[in-house]
Every structure is written in structure tokens, then in C-alpha cells.
Amino acid sequence: MKHVRPGAEALLILLALLPMGCSPWVPERAEILVNTLPPGAACVLSRGGQPIATAAPTPAIGLVDPSDAPVTVSCQRPGFQEAAVTVVALPPPQGYGFHLFAPAPAYDGQRIDIAMAPR
């Protein structure tokens, strides 16, 4: 029976896992934290004119599919003018070597602060 040295066994496992680091991992959903001043607004997140998520009442988190396309956040609250902002996806970080979880452009973790003016 032939025995494999412990160091060689670890190297074989690492080589077997190496191809996984070459393929990008994209999260299922991205989180956008929507905060309004004053709080309590109802916000709709849309992409390409189509609603894709809601965040209500604020502060709230909107869950969206990952993409590099901009997301528009439109908020309404009684007694205040409607307010809207556009969220642009952050580019993936640049680095050296491979990434086990290579991030795609995304909005994940972005915080949007929207000031709403009274009517």
C-alpha cells in the first residue's frame, strides 16, 4: 500500500479546488439600504422603468437581483414631495491573483439617503 505524504495530500486538495476560484460567484440578491429624512416613506426600486423591489417604511432594505444596470429609488410620503435617486452599481474591486468569490458589479451594501422636501 502506497502512502501519500501529508503535505502532498494538502497540495492535491488545493489543486482540486483551484478551478473554483476562477469562476465568479454572484450573490442571489443584493441589498440596498434606503433611508429617508423624515423616515416612514414608501419607496419603489426600479430598473429600466420596471419595479423590482420595495423598501417601506423607511429605513428599509430593498432586495434586488445583481446587475450592473442602474436602479432608480422613488419615495413617497404624505405631506412631502416625491423624491428619487439613481443608484449606480459599484465596480468589482481590482486585485492580484484569483478570487475564490470574484464579485460582480453590484449595489450590495450601498446606503441611499434621500431628503424629502415638505409640500
Domain range annotation of the chain: 6-115
Kindly indicate whether the domain formed by 6-115 is annotated with CATH number 2.60.40.10.
Answer: yes
pLDDT over 50 (residue 23): no
If you average pLDDT over residues 65-80, what whole number do you get?
Answer: 93
Give the up-direction half-sphere exposure of residue 65: CA atoms within 13 A in the CB hemisphere.
7
Distance separating alpha carbons of residues 63 and 108, to the nearest angstrom? 9
More confident of the two residues 14 and 33:
33
* pLDDT at residue 82, rounded to an integer: 97
Q: Is the pLDDT of residue 74 over 60?
A: yes
Does residue 113 contact residue 73 with C-beta atoms inside 8 Å?
no
Distance, CA of 10 to CA of 89 (rounded, Å) = 38
Q: What is the mean pLDDT of residues 83-110?
A: 68
pLDDT score of 29: 82
- What is the pTM (predicted TM-score) of this model? 0.69
Q: Distance of CA 99 to CAs 18, 45, 74, 88, 107, Å?
A: 10, 30, 35, 23, 19
| pLDDT at residue 44 is higher than 70 | yes
- Predicted local confidence at residue 14, as pLDDT: 56
Q: Residue 117's closest CA among 38, 25, 64, 8?
A: 38
